[in-house]
């Protein structure tokens, strides 16, 4: 994939053969720390940081503008706007390559962790953008309300509570429930109203599921 300046991209990466890539909270935390610290041309050693380190990159220094993300046990989704082609390429390389090194070192293993190169999809319309923001965050319901993938969310209030409990996505930061130093909130607000996001997500339907189109087989776990 050749990135284009100012275009928006959806990046999905899976564990090889369905492997669990985040086997515990500390693994999730390490990946999120990497998304924050590595979003810069500046070299950084993550051992010099922790999740309580208050490092907020000035927007002008960021490689990409992260708009949404979610980490699941065996895959990850990231939505970002490209600032420069070189910066986007470097961001993807650093966050996934750095995590593989961390995972292998921690588990005293060698070899691949991910299912090849990350799948990168250019977002070519406002409608598809809104659809993807919803889809990315709705992945959290796989653990509690898996029927959403069939195009219908039952027990809406329960589903909403489950979404707001899930700690490994950008949803809480977008809707103002916590500070999230990873996302570029001002950039996201160019495309959607955060106050309307959850209601939009809970209206997910079969038609929304069909919009995944030819990407469906890869995007679904």
Q: pLDDT grade, residue 52 (50/70/90)?
A: low
Provide the sign of the torsion angle of the four alpha carbons 182, 80, 3, 6, taken in this order: negative
Q: pLDDT grade, residue 146 (50/70/90)?
A: very high
What's 8-212's CATH class? Answer: alpha beta
- Mean residue pLDDT of the chain comes to 89
Residue 163 has what pLDDT?
Answer: 97
Q: Is the pLDDT of residue 42 over 60?
A: yes
- Length reported for the chain: 221
- Taking phi first (over 0 means left), then psi (-120 to 50 degrees means alpha), and beta for anything else, what does residue 111 get? left
pLDDT in tens, 160-205: 999 999 999 999 999 999 999 999 999 999 999 999 999 999 988 7
Element spanning 121, H or E: strand 119-123
For the question of whether the overall pTM of this predicted structure is more than 0.85, the answer is yes
Burial (Cβ within 10 Å: 0-12, 13-18, ≥19) of residue 140: buried
The rounded distance, in Å, linking the Cα atoms of 169 and 189 is 17
Q: Is the pLDDT of residue 208 over 90?
A: no
């Amino acid at each position: 994939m050749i990135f284009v300046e100012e275009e928006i991209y959806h990046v999905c990466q899976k564990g090889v053969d369905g492997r669990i890539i985040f086997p515990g909270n500390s693994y999730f935390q390490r990946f999120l720390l990497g998304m924050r610290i590595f979003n810069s041309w500046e070299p950084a050693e993550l051992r010099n940081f922790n999740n309580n380190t208050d490092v907020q990159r000035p927007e002008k220094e960021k490689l990409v503008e992260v708009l949404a993300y979610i980490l699941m046990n065996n895959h990850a989704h990231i939505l970002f706007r490209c600032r420069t082609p070189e910066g986007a390429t470097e961001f993807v390389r650093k966050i996934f390559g750095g995590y593989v090194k961390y995972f292998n070192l921690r588990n005293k293993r060698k070899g691949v962790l991910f299912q090849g190169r990350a799948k990168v999809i250019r977002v070519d319309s406002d409608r598809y953008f809104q659809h993807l923001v919803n889809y990315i965050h709705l992945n959290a319901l796989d653990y509690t309300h898996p029927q959403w993938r069939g195009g219908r969310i039952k027990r809406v209030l329960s589903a909403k509570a489950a979404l707001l409990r899930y700690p490994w996505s950008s949803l809480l930061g977008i809707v103002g429930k916590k500070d999230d130093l990873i996302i570029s909130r001002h950039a996201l607000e160019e495309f959607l109203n955060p106050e309307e996001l959850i209601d939009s997500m809970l209206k997910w339907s079969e038609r929304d599921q069909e919009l995944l189109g030819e990407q469906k087989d890869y995007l679904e776990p």
